[in-house]
Amino acid sequence: MFKKVLIANRGEIALRIIRACREMGVATVAVHSTADANAMAVRLADESVCIGPPSARDSYLNIPQILSAAALTGADAIHPGYGFLSENAQFARMIEEHGFVFIGPKPEHIETMGDKVVAKQTVKKLGLPVVPGSDGAVTSVEEGLKFAKDVGFPVLIKAASGGGGRGMKVVRAPEEFAEAYSTARSEAKVNFGDDTVYMEKYLAKPRHIEIQVFGDRHGNAVSLGERDCSIQRRHQKLVEEAPSPVIDEKKRAEIGELAAETIRKMGYVGAGTIEFLYEDGQFYFMEMNTRIQVEHPVTEMVTGYDLIAEQLRVASGEKMTIKRNNTTFRGHAIEVRINAEDPDTFTPCPGTITQFHTPGGLGVRFDSAIYQGYRIPPHYDSMIGKLIIHGRDREECLRRMRRAIMETVVEGVKTTLPLHYWIFEQDEFVRGDYTIHWLEKKLAER
- Asked whether residue 122 is assigned to any structural domain, the reply reads no
pLDDT-derived band at 70 (thresholds 50, 70, 90) equals very high
Residues 224, 306, single domain; the answer is: yes
Question: What was the pLDDT predicted at 164?
Answer: 66
- Asked whether residue 127 is assigned to any structural domain, the reply reads no
Give pLDDT tens digits for 253-298: 999 999 999 999 999 999 999 999 999 999 999 999 999 999 999 9
pLDDT-derived band at 235 (thresholds 50, 70, 90) equals confident
Residues 254, 297, single domain; the answer is: yes
* Mean pLDDT value across the chain: 95
Question: What was the pLDDT predicted at 224?
Answer: 96
CATH number of the domain within which 155 lies: 3.30.1490.20
**Pairing, β 332-339 against β 383-391:** antiparallel
Residues 36, 183, single domain; the answer is: no
- Report the SS3 class of residue 202: coil
Question: What was the pLDDT predicted at 117?
Answer: 83
Give pLDDT tens digits for 291-343: 999 999 999 999 999 999 999 999 999 999 998 776 678 999 999 999 999 99
Q: Cα(285)–Cα(277) distance, rounded to whole angstroms?
A: 7
CATH number of the domain within which 373 lies: 3.30.470.20
**Pairing, β 4-7 against β 355-357:** unpaired
- How far lies 243's CA from each of 158, 191, 251, 256, 301, in Å? 28, 33, 12, 13, 11
pLDDT exceeds cutoff 70 at 50? yes
Helices 89-97 and 107-114: crossing angle in degrees, nearest 10, is 170
Residues 252, 377, single domain; the answer is: yes
- How far lies 44's CA from each of 18, 39, 179, 305, in Å? 8, 9, 51, 23
Residues 6+ apart with CB under 8 A from 6: 28, 29, 31, 66, 69, 70, 73, 75, 77, 78, 79, 100
Residue 237 parent element (H or E): strand 236-242
- Asked whether residue 121 is assigned to any structural domain, the reply reads no
For residues 380-398, give the mean pLDDT: 97
Residues 228, 195, single domain; the answer is: no
Question: What was the pLDDT predicted at 98?
Answer: 98
**Of 157, 178, 201, at which residue does a domain stop?**
201
CB 155 within 8 A of CB 148: yes
pLDDT-derived band at 62 (thresholds 50, 70, 90) equals very high
Question: What was the pLDDT predicted at 176?
Answer: 95
Give pLDDT tens digits for 127-144: 999 988 888 899 999 999
- Asked whether residue 233 is assigned to any structural domain, the reply reads yes
The whole domain housing 158 covers 132-201
Predicted TM-score (pTM) of the model is 0.90
CB 276 within 8 A of CB 230: no
Question: What was the pLDDT predicted at 116?
Answer: 83
Question: What was the pLDDT predicted at 16?
Answer: 98
For residues 111-123, give the mean pLDDT: 91
pLDDT exceeds cutoff 80 at 42? yes
**DSSP tag of 416:** S
Task: Check the CA dihedral 131-132-135-137 and report its sign.
Answer: negative
Question: What was the pLDDT predicted at 135?
Answer: 80
Q: Which of 149, 157, 161, 151 is nearest to 180 (CA)?
A: 157
Residues 6+ apart with CB under 8 A from 276: 208, 209, 210, 211, 255, 283, 284, 285, 286
- Asked whether residue 109 is assigned to any structural domain, the reply reads no
Residues 232, 191, single domain; the answer is: no
pLDDT exceeds cutoff 70 at 148? yes
- Asked whether residue 114 is assigned to any structural domain, the reply reads no
Q: What percent of the chain has pLDDT over 70?
A: 99
Catalytic residue flag (residue 172): no
CATH number of the domain within which 72 lies: 3.40.50.20
Give pLDDT tens digits for 155-214: 999 998 876 677 899 999 999 999 999 999 999 998 888 999 999 989 989 999 999 999
- Asked whether residue 378 is assigned to any structural domain, the reply reads yes
Residues 196, 256, single domain; the answer is: no
Active-site hit among 291, 313, 365, 400: 291
Residues 358, 221, single domain; the answer is: yes
For residues 44-69, give the mean pLDDT: 98
- Asked whether residue 108 is assigned to any structural domain, the reply reads no
Residues 323, 291, single domain; the answer is: yes
Residues 212, 179, single domain; the answer is: no
Give pLDDT tens digits for 424-443: 999 999 999 999 999 999 99
Residues 273, 387, single domain; the answer is: yes
- Report the SS3 class of residue 380: coil
Residues 305, 330, single domain; the answer is: yes
Question: What was the pLDDT predicted at 326?
Answer: 67
pLDDT-derived band at 78 (thresholds 50, 70, 90) equals very high
Domain count, the chain: 3
